[in-house]
Structure 1
Amino acid sequence: MIAALCEHYGPPENLVLRELPDPAPGPGEVLVEPSRVALNFFDTLIIENKYQVKPDLPFSPGGEFCGKVMALGEGVEGLAAGQRVAGYCSYGAARSRVVLPASLLTPVPDALSDDRAAGLFITYGTTMHALVQRADLQKGETLAVLGASGGVGLAAVEIGAAMGAQVIACASSREKLDFAQRHGAHEGLNYSSEDLKEGLKRRTGGKGVDCIYDAIGGAFSEAALRAMAWKGRFLVVGFASGKIPKIPLNLTLLKGCAILGVFWGEFVRREPEAHRRNMARIFDWAARSAISAHVDDVLPLHDIAKGLNRLKERKAQGKILLSIP
Structure 2
Amino acid sequence: MDYEPPYAISPVDRTGLIVIVETLFMSWMIIVSLIRLYMRLAINGPVQLDDLMVFIGSALAVVHVGVIMDAVDHGLGQPHEKHSPSSLQHAGEGLYAANLVFIAGYGAAKLSVCLLLKRLGRQTWYLWCSKALVGVVALWTVASFLAVALSCHPKYSLKSSDISQHCSNLGTAWKAITAFDVIIEVLTFVVSIILVWGVQMRWKEKGMVIFAFGTRTPLIILIILRQTYLNRSLYHPDTSLHISSAVIATAVLFHTSIMVATVPCLKPFLVSFNTGWGQGVTNSNGEPTYFTPTGQTGSTNQSRVYTSRADDDEVDLTAPRSSQDSHNSRKLIIHETREWTVEEEFEMHPMKDRIQI
TM-score by length of 1: 0.26
Structure ranking higher in strand proportion: 1
TM-score by length of 2: 0.24
Give the number of the structure whose residues are more often helix, by fraction.
Answer: 2
